[in-house]
Chain A
Amino acid sequence: MLEREITISNRLGLHARASAKLVQALHGFEASASIACRGKEVNAKSIMGVMMLAAGPGTAVTLRTDGPEAEQAMQAMLDLFERKFDEGE
């Protein structure tokens, strides 16, 4: 299992569209993926799961992936966080 810490840096945090982009970025990878913060861990492939974190900007989250394509799935998540979900801010 892979695990990385990252701080949410886009202006609106893990809001609805960002959650949808995360789920879409993970779609098709043969890997399980989760996000954890404040003692709560959710399936990163589920929009409603990700939204339930209600994670705003500045929140530190732990990303976890597991399975045959765990590395690619982790990279896809990290890229999206680092690109601030392509929100141009």
Chain B
Amino acid sequence: MTVGVLLMTHESMGHALVGAARHVLGRLPLPVDVQEVAADADPEQMLRMAAAQARELDCGAGVLVLSDLYGATPCNIARRLPDLGVRMHCVSGLNLPMLLRVLNYPEQSLDELAQTAASGGRGGIVVDNP
């Protein structure tokens, strides 16, 4: 039983990241879906759509929501998903290292995977010493 992964992002971010992950990994080992929230989108409608996507992704182990910016609308919508009965963790600050690391640990539980995502996102930021 694996966790489902839902990317909730600003426009053109989520699909681009999934495309890059596919390029690196080939087949993705977890079910992944994307919701990109357009600037003029209706948040209530987006919430209902995200809940439907989350239910589709949930095979019983819950859904890991990855959002690009904490406090922004895609993230704010995501954080309301539990009100609609979605079992999830939301991790913000989505970047490609975070997504790759999540996909490298498909056997983890929802709680573990949220921590894996956070450490992957942080650990992927490197300042090169000249």
Instruction: Write the residues of chain A forming the contact surface with B, with a CB cutoff of 8 angstroms.
Output: 16-17, 19-20, 23, 46-48, 51-52
Inter-chain contact B24/A48, CB cutoff 8 Å: no
Per the bound structure, the CA–CA distance linking A23 and B101 in Å amounts to: 11
The smallest C-beta distance from B45 to any residue of chain A, in angstroms, reads 36
The smallest C-beta distance from A18 to any residue of chain B, in angstroms, reads 10
The smallest C-beta distance from A87 to any residue of chain B, in angstroms, reads 13
Per the bound structure, the CA–CA distance linking A52 and B97 in Å amounts to: 11
Inter-chain contact B100/A17, CB cutoff 8 Å: no
Per the bound structure, the CA–CA distance linking A23 and B100 in Å amounts to: 12
Per the bound structure, the CA–CA distance linking A17 and B97 in Å amounts to: 13
Inter-chain contact B120/A20, CB cutoff 8 Å: no
Q: Is B93 an interface residue (CB 8 A)?
A: no
Inter-chain contact A48/B23, CB cutoff 8 Å: no
Which residue of B25, B26, B100 contacts A48 across the interface (Cβ within 8 Å)? B100
Inter-chain contact B101/A47, CB cutoff 8 Å: yes
- Count class of interface residues, chain B: 10 to 19
Inter-chain contact B104/A46, CB cutoff 8 Å: yes
* A17 proximity list for chain B (CB < 8 A): 23-24
The smallest C-beta distance from A13 to any residue of chain B, in angstroms, reads 14
Inter-chain contact B101/A48, CB cutoff 8 Å: yes
Per the bound structure, the CA–CA distance linking A19 and B23 in Å amounts to: 12
Inter-chain contact B24/A16, CB cutoff 8 Å: yes
* A20 proximity list for chain B (CB < 8 A): 24-26, 100
Inter-chain contact A47/B126, CB cutoff 8 Å: no
Inter-chain contact B100/A47, CB cutoff 8 Å: yes
Inter-chain contact A48/B126, CB cutoff 8 Å: no
**Given A16-B24, A47-B24, 6 further pairs, Cβ under 8 A:** A17-B24, A20-B25, A20-B100, A48-B101, A51-B97, A52-B123
The smallest C-beta distance from B77 to any residue of chain A, in angstroms, reads 28
Chosen A-B contacts, 27 in total, with CB atoms closer than 8 Å, are A16-B23, A16-B24, A16-B100, A17-B23, A17-B24, A19-B24, A20-B24, A20-B25, A20-B26, A20-B100, A23-B104, A46-B101, A46-B104, A47-B24, A47-B100, A47-B101, A47-B104, A48-B97, A48-B100, A48-B101, A48-B104, A48-B120, A48-B123, A48-B124, A51-B97, A52-B123, A52-B126
